[in-house]
Amino acid sequence: NVNLRTIGRSPSCMEGVSHFSGFFDRKDDFKTALEGVEVVIHLAGRAHNFGESEKAGSLLHDLVNHQGTLQFADQARKMGVKQFIFLSSAKVNGEFSQPGASFTQDDEPNPVGAYAQSKLKAELGLIRAHRGSSMDVVIIRPPLVYGSEVGGNFKSMVDWVRKGYPFPDVNAA
């Protein structure tokens, strides 16, 4: 018997799923939402700037992705959550890997920009705060996350493909 809940700024579209609203900053109290929960999959985060200055954007990335994540994980541990799965970002590794090579878990982090830096700070904070605690922390660095309302570079690439522009052959000599 699985009891599903979502926490975020917009309600879940899944029938029968309880929804709790929050911004994921240091002030949110998710104790009610975490009651009886054994596993948290933390996907929330701030990925883009929305017209604010670079400094304000950096502060908001840190508030939500770093401080908010640590606050949420701390509440989860105190509420008896056994496992906290954090979706970070491959951008923690850097903007690109060497030709023909992939990032590995042994690579030295090289985050570029406020988003990637806030994700790394969250990772390090989670490891530091919960090492040896009753809650197991798992960190996942997916290479690219996209959906029907994708933005950023992936949207630009999709737009170019729809317009019929050819892409270079990376295997050409």
Q: Which residues are catalytic?
A: 115
- CA dist 19 and 91 (Å) reads 29
- CA dist 34 and 132 (Å) reads 21
Q: Please, what sign has the CA dihedral across residues 84, 133, 27, 111?
A: negative
Exposure of 29 in the CB half-sphere (CA atoms within 13 A): 2
Given a contact cutoff of 8 angstroms between Cβ atoms, the answer to whether 82 and 138 are in contact is: no
